[in-house]
Structure 1
Amino acid sequence: MTQPLDDILVLDFSTLLPGPMATLMLAEAGAEVIKLERPGSGEDMRLTEPMIEGRSLGYAILNRGKKSIALDLKAEGAVASLRSLIEKADVIVEQFRPGVMERLGLGYDAVRTLNSKIIYCSITGYGQSGPKRDVAGHDMNYVGDAGVLSLSSGSVDSPTAPFGLIADIGGGTYPAIMNILLALRQRDKTEQGVHLDIAMSEGAFAFAYWAHAKGVIAGEPIENGGDRLTGGRARYRLYSASDGRQVAVGALEQKFWDAFCNVIDLPRHLRDDLADPAATKAEVARRIVVKPSAHWAPLLEAADCCCTIVKTPAEAAADPHFTARDTFGRVVSVGGEQVPALPLPIAPEFRGAVADSRAAPDLGEQNTEFGL
């Protein structure tokens, strides 16, 4: 089967999540991805739980189908030993703090003297320049600095952590993939490579486009958890049923809101949710909490009003809809077991066979293959 990236070689110096997920997507589209890992323990994700037969599931699902070289980049002659790979590589992905690759002799300027066509992608929290370029951080810090976390961070007494790794994946992985593919397309025209500066904190801004329009451009205040898309309106928020399960009400459009109000028999004088927002929210909550989620689920489904019961990850994976679409049909081998592979937003037409269950590599598994 021909794949879009089956002639692309990627050298992956990244660890943990943003870079490895990006190179996983490249591998799934046919690229040959070679991970460079430190000898002994390998990259940090290999040590994370849960595990099967001593193998990290997190590492396994993020590094499926890649190759691994164990190499101490600080050792004498280490960089020179990579010269032949660098000369024929198409893409390098690295995730160190700014300046680290330069100190190792693997910075962009050094690499492009060996390979002028290299697409060199650097993923960091704050970018290669600016006052915060060297500041340490994780996803929560980046979405906090981007103003996204302030939009829905819980109450003063009970702060709430972000529900997903918005900066890591949305600000790191996806921009990296998008710009690598754009750079490869540009290289087709110019035969020149480029250094891509991916800052996870900057990538997070796009996830709150409406907050940019309202809070930055219009200068209007945005209350924590109190805006149109963060629970401020009765028609777009979470409500608890009597069994503790939550109902996700997303009835923004009037026709959906009317249908939802009919399901719960909301009094007419409260259906204008802008007249007295607190009263409407309180009454909706009071009506939903008296019945279990099993009562509401079929009624809401029949009403087709953008209102659903919140699923656990395990329930979502077993949902007949995702089963019908074969969302979790791919598997990855971990030790002696096969587990569901991570669903990726790549069209099936560009990926390998569903039956392909390639495992993540053992540490240094390909050292001999590449003469190291």
Structure 2
Amino acid sequence: MTDNQPLKGIRVLDFTQLLPGPLCTLHLADLGAEVIKIEPPRVGDPTRGPKQFTPMFLMLNRNKRSLEVDLRSAEGVELLQALAKTADVVVEGFRPGVAERLGVGYRQLSELNPRLVYCSISGYGQQGPLAQAAGHDINYQSLAGVLDQTGSAGGAPVQGNLPVADVAGGALSAATGILAALFDAARSGKGRHVDIAMTDCVMALNIMTATSWQSAGQVLPRGQDFLSGGLACYGCYRTADRRYLAVGAVEHKFWVAFCDAVGLPHLHDKGHAFGEAGATAKAAVAEAILQHDLAHWARVFSEVDACVTPVLRLDEVVEHANTQARGMVRQDRHPQAGGYMSFACPLRMGEGDWPEPTPAPLLGADNLSIRQELGLA
């Protein structure tokens, strides 16, 4: 790590597993925080898999340390309470009340360290009728009115492979709350309990549906709203080789450029048409795009400023010129797991590249060193 990292000197205890919490603490670690991953003895985070390292674990847990702790033992709780006295942040993803019962809840740890920022990530929040309910991303999206809007008109809801409730509702919202609470703790000397309910957070992002509902007086069916397929100027169109072209020509100047490029100048005034006129325009665009393959359209729109791009697979994305120029893909090598691909820290802050990351740790790799730092070994 280098001295110019903005979170250098911040210590984070990470009790979380799977995706939302580890992704949150990955961002903190990439920004320079010391993240200590608390893992159950012998098995660790489930994303490790039977051989300790899976691509998911490797990608989510670089720049972190690993400490095995039995949270059900008095010795383990004593160790964590001692560690909490030295920490700035705790991140946990237990069901509400579990951390308290284990002796590592906000109340217990904040008594030991009043400046501690304690972040709880859950599906439905620390209080409320669903606080104890189990759930996953699909459930949080469904109860936030998000899943209802994804998919084609007349079809079933479609869940994407980007779990937006976990990632945006959980990881990124938690990171935002933690950073705000850290800033306040530096001024006030008092930490806070940051309560992140993934359903709440993804609901708060559902701006477009809320906007159209209030404008139209009803929630429009999926596939029929402004950004979900209701307009000819914004959607995905199939090409001759069964690929897809993403058209985002929302502004009139872009829509005019698009229509001219595909030979449909008579549609200049139909980009924002709903109803029968909109359906007719969409059908005409679909027919035009279907006449050529994706490579043809990619060439055409590389020269036309119209917000049109090919829908790429991830294996194509990593080779794309813009991806390469931005340095977003890393080819890393782990001393035990071997080579793997990961994504670079996407934040740029004008201080040059981030330092070379440390690889994801072996389970319990820092058991001894952390105890020594605490004077317990």
> Would you say same fold, with TM above 0.5?
yes
Is residue 303 from structure 1 mapped to residue 272 from structure 2 by the alignment? no
The number of aligned residues is 367
Structure 1 residues 153 and 17: alpha-carbon distance in aligned structure 2, compared to 1, 3 A threshold: same
2:26 is aligned with what amino acid? L
Residue 272 of structure 1 and its aligned partner are, at CA, apart by 1.9
Residue 329 of structure 1 and its aligned partner are, at CA, apart by 4.3
Could you say which residue in structure 2 is the equivalent of 1:344? 345
What's the CA shift string for 1:266-312, capped at 9, x where partnerless? 26168524261111111111111121111111112211111111111
Output the aligned Cα RMSD. 2.1
Could you say which residue in structure 1 is the equivalent of 2:282? 281
Could you say which residue in structure 2 is the equivalent of 1:32? 34
* Residues 70 and 367, structure 1, Cα contact 8 Å, conserved in 2: yes
Unmatched 5+ stretches in structure 1: none
Per mean C-alpha deviation after superposition, the further-off stretch among 238-247 and 273-282 is 273-282
Q: Secondary structure at the match of 1:36?
A: strand
What's the CA shift string for 1:232-258, capped at 9, x where partnerless? 111101000010110001111111111
TM-score, normalized by length of structure 2?
0.91
Is residue 366 from structure 1 mapped to residue 366 from structure 2 by the alignment? yes
* Residues 332 and 339, structure 2, Cα contact 8 Å, conserved in 1: yes
Q: Counterparts of 2:185 and 2:192 in 1: how far apart (Å)?
A: 9
Structure 1 residues 243 and 45: alpha-carbon distance in aligned structure 2, compared to 1, 3 A threshold: same
Could you say which residue in structure 1 is the equivalent of 2:259? 261
Could you say which residue in structure 1 is the equivalent of 2:99? 101
Residue 362 of structure 1 and its aligned partner are, at CA, apart by 0.6
1:80 is aligned with what amino acid? E
2:8 is aligned with what amino acid? D
Is residue 195 from structure 1 mapped to residue 193 from structure 2 by the alignment? yes
* Residues 209 and 219, structure 2, Cα contact 8 Å, conserved in 1: no
For residues 212-223 of structure 1, the aligned pairs below 5 Å read 212-216=210-214, 219-223=217-221
* Residues 149 and 157, structure 2, Cα contact 8 Å, conserved in 1: no
Could you say which residue in structure 2 is the equivalent of 1:293? 294
| Percent of pairs with identical residues | 38
Structure 1 residues 128 and 141: alpha-carbon distance in aligned structure 2, compared to 1, 3 A threshold: same
Could you say which residue in structure 1 is the equivalent of 2:129? 131
Q: Counterparts of 2:231 and 2:183 in 1: how far apart (Å)?
A: 44
Q: Counterparts of 1:124 and 1:60 in 2: how far apart (Å)?
A: 23
Could you say which residue in structure 2 is the equivalent of 1:6? 8
* Residues 332 and 357, structure 1, Cα contact 8 Å, conserved in 2: no
Unmatched 5+ stretches in structure 2: 372-376
1:347 is aligned with what amino acid? R
Q: Counterparts of 1:129 and 1:217 in 2: how far apart (Å)?
A: 32
TM-score, normalized by length of structure 1?
0.93
